[in-house]
Chain A
Amino acid sequence: MTFEKIQAIIVDQLDKEEEEVQLTTNFREDLEADSLDLFQIINDIEDEFDIKIESEEGLNTVQDIVTFVEVELAKK
């Protein structure tokens, strides 16, 4: 469920198809997202899951974000 929600946010922000956004997808290399795109995606994810993502460092793939969000949700 976490993945689907994150996938939907990325699809919406970057105007991509769902098939293009998989767990192994790299934001910069596969989706040509720049830092501001990533800021917007993080912003939407923070709102969606009501969590805080202090730094975008280390968040390179969709899997990185899914893992981060799941760890944060487990702390709640």
Chain B
Amino acid sequence: MQAKIINTGSYVPNKIVSNKDLETIMDTSDEWIKTRTGIENRRISETENTSVLCGKAALDILEKSTITADKVDLIIVATMSPDYLSPSTACLVQDYIGASKSMAFDVSAACSGFIYALSVAEKMLSSGKFHYALVLGGEVMSKIVDWDDRGTAVLFGDGAGGVLLESTSSQGSFIAEDIHSDGSRGLALTTGALPVSNPYSQNEKNSSDIHLKMEGRAIFDFAIRSVPNSIKAVVETAGIDLSDIERIIPHQANSRIIQAIAKKLKRPFEQFALNISDYGNTSAASIPILLDELVSSGDLVLGTGKKIILTGFGGGLTWGSILIRI
């Protein structure tokens, strides 16, 4: 059996926060943010938590398909900003959409989460034991960023997106993948530290810190070295050329990183899809939101067999690319 992407969907909170809006609450500027990141606006959740964003994205996907929630037997959510450590966000989504027959769990791979979740779902569907999988990436980054740190607070946004996969005996969507982790550099990007704390522990009490911390240059360096190699690896595995790829859909971390990746690959920047100006960095949600936007606008048409690459990179460190026939 093979796994095939049959629908896409997304949901973002209504509230739009512009760079100008941020100027009123912190010492930053529209010009600084735009030139260094490409970001102009981001969506910020006022009430909806990650499971609700993911649940609404899942409903958006199902509404576009003939598959009902009771047919879904696998839900995987990629997130670094779950509602709870337990229950998993995927279990909350299962309840939200009424997919009572599904196995549901979260994947933790930060901004690469959607790539990881898609890879896991593809293997599970290929086994023939699962039939329909919802693979979602969703984040409420606004609850984990440090709003007193202007270096990171301006970068992130909230949202969710995903795809519906079907197990099929005919040709699937997945052609090649190249996925990596490097825990030795993990502390370059952290969030939600939970140190040992109990009546017997030696540590300072209540020293947990939810806030996202990032070493900017280390992450920039990591991204522009690792991502081009990963993209090259999937096209080599598939035995094709980068010019055969319709669009490359990169994690939307920073448009300057994407420009640098394009330059390293000696490919035109236009081959890389971009919507960071509207949403900022939505971590695990950025790739599926962008994919859904391209499908909804007609830029990409499911079923045409055109080849695209999804590529993610982020905390863990984690990174990876998947070459897909849409």
Chain A residues in contact with chain B, CB under 8 A? 34-36, 39-40, 43, 56
Contact = CB atoms under 8 A, between A and B. Distances in A.
Contacts of A34: 35-36
A39 B221 contact: yes
Nearest to B217: A39
Given A34-B36, A35-B216, 5 more contacts: A34-B35, A35-B217, A39-B217, A39-B221, A43-B224
A34 B259 CA distance: 15
A36 B225 contact: no
Given A34-B35, A34-B36, A40 B260 contact: yes
Given A34-B35, A34-B36, A40 B217 contact: no
A63 B221 CA distance: 23
Contacts of A43: 221, 224-225
B256 interface: yes
A39 B36 contact: no
Interface of B: 35-36, 216-217, 220-221, 224-225, 254, 256, 260
A8 B254 CA distance: 25
Ranked 9 nearest A-B pairs via Cβ: A36-B256, A39-B220, A39-B217, A40-B260, A43-B221, A43-B224, A36-B36, A34-B36, A39-B221
A36 B256 CA distance: 8
- The dominant DSSP class at the B interface is helix
A35 B256 CA distance: 11
A40 B217 CA distance: 10
B308 to A, nearest CB: 26
Q: Of B35, B216, B217, which is in contact with the most chain A CB atoms at under 10 Å from its CB?
A: B217
Contacts of B217: 35, 39, 56
A36 B258 CA distance: 12
A40 B224 contact: yes
A67 to B, nearest CB: 20
Contacts of B225: 43
Contacts of A39: 217, 220-221
Nearest to B219: A39
A65 to B, nearest CB: 15
A39 to B, nearest CB: 5
A43 B226 CA distance: 12
Contacts of B216: 35
A75 to B, nearest CB: 21
A56 B215 CA distance: 13
A35 B220 CA distance: 11
Contacts of B254: 36
Nearest to B221: A43
A21 to B, nearest CB: 18
A38 to B, nearest CB: 9
A36 B223 CA distance: 12
8 contacts: A34-B35, A35-B216, A35-B217, A36-B36, A39-B217, A39-B220, A39-B221, A43-B225
B223 to A, nearest CB: 10
A25 to B, nearest CB: 21
A5 B220 CA distance: 23
Contacts of B221: 39, 43
A39 B36 CA distance: 12
A20 to B, nearest CB: 19
A15 to B, nearest CB: 11
Nearest to A54: B217
Nearest to B256: A36
A16 to B, nearest CB: 15
A39 B260 CA distance: 10
Output the residue of A34, A36, A56 with the most chain B CB within 10 A: A36
A36 B260 CA distance: 10
